[in-house]
């Protein structure tokens, strides 16, 4: 269990909220995890249940159906979801897409989409990555050519979280191919538009219940009012939102790391070898002690980052450093925890196997560890 003792950014109200989240996940998430992993997608019923429980987009203002809460509430949900070992895409909707629409959308767009995102009626995605671009957002080839009062969208995207379930996609596209980063815009494309096709639900190493997909756009026509914010400002919007996106990944990384550590403690205390518990061997206790020290430092740093973000002071470099540190720590702890399980750790019946698999992509999406180092290095 994630301990809140001594965590400076959380108060008693937050702890009560966390208890509600845990009870909800016990009932609505835990019993279905294996089925979702097998099916490769989280059910829409779960999304609607999250909406009814107030666990979707808690930061959306009340006038659009939300609770108007600060990022700490998102973080509680992110931590607990990761601790349960789930890769459900509700964090993408709450932490990323909702903020794009709330901050840059027109009043009409906010009224149309935010209430349905809060309720779980609408599931969203953001389509950045393309087969040939990866972390290089300036190199996107998807275009949105303006014809009269419409954009005509052409191109393809890949590795898109919520891709199969998505009712609405924010598409990163070039509206001016000769303007570099200033030619990038964010275009809202609704599922069902002629020419918009969802490809495969991709076969991944981990995070199997997250529907990660290819998306194809062939002469997809949308009204120019589907431009999110100003035309040509898309790249600036993406850069503005990166600190919260990367902080959210760091939050999830710590939740997953804590669960892996707890699984290792539980297993080594229960498993016997040579007449004693595996935990009683000095190597086991020293390994766990070192990991616990790193977790202690990690939680403290995460709370520092969260406090900075609440004050709107968290910089892109600080957020990148947080993603780098916490996702690398998650991998270290998951790998060490699996090793302490011995052969059992390689068996899918043990939670550590899923935690280990799911952790691997954390060092890749949202910006690879190598890109994070580059961002941080520029500030030295």
CA separation (Å) from 311 to 73, 197, 252?
15, 41, 21
Alpha carbon distance 17, 25 (integer Å): 12
SS (H, E, C) 206-230: CCCCCCEEEEEEEEEEEEHHHECCC
280: which 2 tokens? 């009683």
Over the Cα atoms of the chain, what is R_g? 21
CB 157 within 8 A of CB 201: no
CA separation (Å) from 103 to 41, 95, 128?
29, 12, 18
Q: Which residues lie below 8 Å from residue 213, measured CB to CB, with a gap of 6+?
A: 158, 160, 163, 164, 198, 199, 200, 201, 202
Pairing of strands 124-127, 168-174: parallel
Residue 37 bears catalytic tag: no
**Can you state the percent helix, strand and coil of the chain, rounding each to 5?**
55, 15, 30
List 37, 231, 245, 263, catalytic entry: 245
Alpha carbon distance 93, 124 (integer Å): 6
Q: Which residues lie below 8 Å from residue 159, measured CB to CB, with a gap of 6+?
A: 129, 202, 212, 365
List active site positions. 245
């Amino acid at each position: 269990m994630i301990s809140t003792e001594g965590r400076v950014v959380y108060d008693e109200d937050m702890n009560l909220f966390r208890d509600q989240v845990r009870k909800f996940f016990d009932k609505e998430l835990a019993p279905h995890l294996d089925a979702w992993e097998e099916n490769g997608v989280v059910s829409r019923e779960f999304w609607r249940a999250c909406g009814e429980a107030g666990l979707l987009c808690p930061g959306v203002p009340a006038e659009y159906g939300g609770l108007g809460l600060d990022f700490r509430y998102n973080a509680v949900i992110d931590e607990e979801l990761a601790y349960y070992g789930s890769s459900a895409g509700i964090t993408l909707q709450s932490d990323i897409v909702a903020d794009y629409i709330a901050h840059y959308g027109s009043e009409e767009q906010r009224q149309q989409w935010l209430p349905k995102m809060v309720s779980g009626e609408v599931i969203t995605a953001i389509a950045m990555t393309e087969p040939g671009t990866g972390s290089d957002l300036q190199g996107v080839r998807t275009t949105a050519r303006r014809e009269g009062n419409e954009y005509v969208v052409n191109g393809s995207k890949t590795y898109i979280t919520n891709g199969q379930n998505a009712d609405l996609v924010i598409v990163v596209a070039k509206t001016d191919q000769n303007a570099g980063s200033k030619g990038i815009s964010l275009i809202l494309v609704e599922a069902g538009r002629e020419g918009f096709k969802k490809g495969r639900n991709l076969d991944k190493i981990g995070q199997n219940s997250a529907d990660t997909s290819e998306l194809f756009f062939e002469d997809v026509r949308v009204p120019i009012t589907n431009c999110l914010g100003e035309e040509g400002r898309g790249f600036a919007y993406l850069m503005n939102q990166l600190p919260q996106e990367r902080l959210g990944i760091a939050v999830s990384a710590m939740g997953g790391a804590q669960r892996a550590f707890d699984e290792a403690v539980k297993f080594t205390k229960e498993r016997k070898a040579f007449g004693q518990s595996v935990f009683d061997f000095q190597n086991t206790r020293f390994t766990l002690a070192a990991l616990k020290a790193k977790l202690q430092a990690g939680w403290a740093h995460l709370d520092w980052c969260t406090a900075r973000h609440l004050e709107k002071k968290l910089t892109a470099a600080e957020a990148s450093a947080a993603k780098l540190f916490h996702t690398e720590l998650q991998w270290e702890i998951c790998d060490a925890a699996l090793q302490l399980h011995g052969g059992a750790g390689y068996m899918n019946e043990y939670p550590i196997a899923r935690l280990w698999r799911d952790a691997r992509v954390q060092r890749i999406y949202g910006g690879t560890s190598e890109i994070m180092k580059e961002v941080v290095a520029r500030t030295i």
